[in-house]
Amino acid sequence: MEKITQTAGRDQLGGFAPDFAHYNDDVLFGENWNNQDIDVKTRCMITVVALMSSGITDSSLTYHLENAKAHGVTRAEIAAIVTHVGFYVGWPKAWAVFRLAKDVWKEAELTEKDKYQNTILFPIGAPNDGFAQYFSGQSYLAPVSGEQVGIFNVTFEPGCRNNWHVHHADKGGGQILICVGGRGYYQEWGKEAVEMNPGDCINIPAGVKHWHGAAPDSWFSHLAIEVPGENGSNEWLEPVDEKQYGGLK
C-alpha cells in the first residue's frame, strides 16, 4: 500500500504549535492513515462522511474530497455516498457537500468514453487493434473469461460496426451476444436489422452471415460468448453498406 505522508502541520504550524503539527503529520496522517486494517479508499470515504456529518464544508473537506478521488472514489460513488448520508445527517449538509464535490469531479474532465464507462458494469477494455481491419470505426475489447467458454465484452463507439462475417464449425459453434450497455444492432443476411438494448440476447448459429455494432448515435457494448464447436473458425467478409447502415436510427 502506498505510504501516506503529510507535512501541512509543520508547514503551517511548526513554529507556532509544534506538538499539534507533530500529532497532525506523524500520528493522524502518519500512523493512523497508514494503518492497513482499512484500505485507503475506504478510509477516504469514512473521512468524508465524518466531516459531512459534523457540518464541516470548508477547505478541509475539499482536500478530503480530492484525496478520495485520487484514491479511486468515482463520481458515481461519491454521489451515492453523499445522498445516502444526507438522509441521516441532514439535506442541507448534502447540498453543501455536493457544491464542493461537483468541482472536484468536474464533468469536463470526463471523456465521452469515461462517461459511458460509468453507465456499464463491465470494463470497456483496450482498443481492439487486432481486429481493427474488420471494423468500421473504433471498437474496444475486454476479456471476461478464458475458461470453459470464451467471453469478451466488446464495446463500439457510436457509428462503429463490424463487417459481415460467418462463424463456421463442423459441429456446434456459433456465438451468443448479450447487450450490456448502450444501443446497437444485429442483422442477418437477407433479414431486417434487430435493435439491441441492455438485456437483449441474440443466438447466432454457425454458418449464418451477420454483422453487429453500435447505433449511429450511441455507444454499444455486448458480451460475445463463443459457443464450443468442432473445427471452428471465423470468416470475415465485406463491410456493411454505408447507405444501408445510414438508414438505421
Q: Give the H/E segment covering residue 83.
A: helix 75-89
| SS3 state of residue 3 | coil
Alpha-carbon dihedral sign for residues 145, 147, 151, 152: positive
pLDDT at position 4: 75
**Residue 23 per-residue DSSP state:** I
Measuring CA to CA, how many Å separate 69 from each of 62, 177, 183?
11, 34, 30
Nearest-angstrom CA–CA distance, 222 and 202: 10
* Degrees to nearest 5, angle at CA 46 with 41 and 50: 150
Phi-psi region of 39 (alpha: psi -120 to 50; beta: other; left: phi over 0): beta
Question: Does residue 148 have a pLDDT over 90?
Answer: no
Q: How many whole angstroms separate alpha carbon 197 and alpha carbon 212? A: 12
**Residue 25 is placed in which grid cell?**
503529520
Give the pairing of strands 229-230 and 210-214.
unpaired
> Which of 187, 185, 177, 183 is closest to 222 using CA atoms?
177
pLDDT of residue 221: 98
> Helix (H, G, I), strand (E, B), or coil: what is residue 70?
helix
Which pLDDT belongs to residue 109? 65
How far, in Å, CA of 226 to CA of 224, rounded? Answer: 6
54-113 per-position pLDDT tens digit: 999 999 999 999 999 999 999 999 999 999 999 999 999 999 999 999 999 986 567 899
Q: What is d(CA 97, CA 79) in angstroms, rounded to the nearest whole number?
A: 10
pLDDT score for 107: 65
Which pLDDT band holds residue 133 (cuts at 50, 70, 90)? Answer: very high
Mean pLDDT for 46-52 is: 97
pLDDT in the model for residue 239: 97
What the chain holds in terms of domains, given with CATH numbers, is 38-109 (1.20.1290.10), 126-246 (2.60.120.10)
Which H helix or E strand runs over 44? helix 40-53
By the 8 A CB rule, do 32 and 47 touch? no
The continuous run of DSSP H or E covering 91 comes out as helix 91-104
**Is a pLDDT exceeding 90 seen at residue 249?**
no
pLDDT at 165: 97
Q: What number is the average pLDDT over the span 174-185?
A: 97
pLDDT in tens, 181-209: 999 999 999 999 999 999 999 999 999 99
